[in-house]
Structure formats: structure tokens, C-alpha cells
Amino acid sequence: DADVTQTPRNRITKTGKRIMLECSQTKGHDRMYWYRQDPGLGLQLIYYSFDVKDINKGEISDGYSVSRQAQAKFSLSLESAIPNQTALYFCATSDRGQGRDEQFFGPGTRLTVL
């Protein structure tokens, strides 16, 4: 079973709709992240959370909100989706105290806003 899972894997929605993307992890990591990737661009950080009570904005948080329901779950919401939020969204985790090491990524959610 995958360590970091994302649901849904694909979603098509309309402008103005509320959308929630969910991320779950079984790695036992403290830190979780949401990234967005646009075609031909690198990943940009939307929000990150160091634990359930510690949530922080990343580079491009406008139009997004998050909820850390438990250590293992971190969801990303688009309150009113717009077409330029069409992108590939990745959730990632990392382990505090493990130094400057890797982040583990989920498989991604492809979101299309019409």
C-alpha cells in the first residue's frame, strides 16, 4: 500500500464550486505539505503543517484553505474554484528531526476547473 495517498486522483469541476482534495499518510510523519504544479513549471508550495495545530501559508495560498484533521490527514480546499486553479496537486510528508532530507510525495490529483 502507498505511504501517501491522495483522493480523488482526477476531478473536473465548474467555476465557483467548492472542492476538497484529501491526503492521508501512513508514514507517521509530523509534517505535511500541499504543492501545485502547472504545466512546464516546478512545484510551488501552497500550505504546510508541522503538526495538527501548526498550519502555515506557503508561496501561493490565495484562494486555498487547509485542514489538518489528524496527524495522518491533511486536506486542501478550494472555496470557489476558478479556471486558473487547474493544475496537478501534490501532497507530501516529511519527518521532523530527520535533517535536511527528502519529502515523500503522493501520486497527485489532477484538477480541472471549467
Partner 1 sequence: DQQVKQNSPSLSVQEGRISILNCDYTNSMFDYFLWYKKYPAEGPTFLISISSIKDKNEDGRFTVFLNKSAKHLSLHIVPSQPGDSAVYFCAAYSGGSNYKLTFGKGTLLTVNP
The residue ranges that bind partner 1 (CB under 8 A) are 4, 31, 33, 40-45, 48, 50, 58, 90, 92, 94, 99-108
Minimum CB separation of residue 59 from partner 1 in Å reads 9
Q: How far apart are CA 58 and CA 51, in angstroms?
A: 15
Nearer to partner 1, 4 or 76 (CB): 4
Minimum CB separation of residue 16 from partner 1 in Å reads 28
Nearer to partner 1, 31 or 68 (CB): 31
Nearer to partner 1, 75 or 106 (CB): 106
Minimum CB separation of residue 11 from partner 1 in Å reads 15
Minimum CB separation of residue 15 from partner 1 in Å reads 26
The three-state DSSP-derived secondary structure of the chain is CCCEEEECCEEEECCCCCEEEEEEECCCCCEEEEEEECCCCCEEEEEEEEECCEEEECCCCCCCEEEEEECCEEEEEECCCCHHHCEEEEEEEECCCCCCCCCEECCCEEEEEC
Nearer to partner 1, 30 or 65 (CB): 30
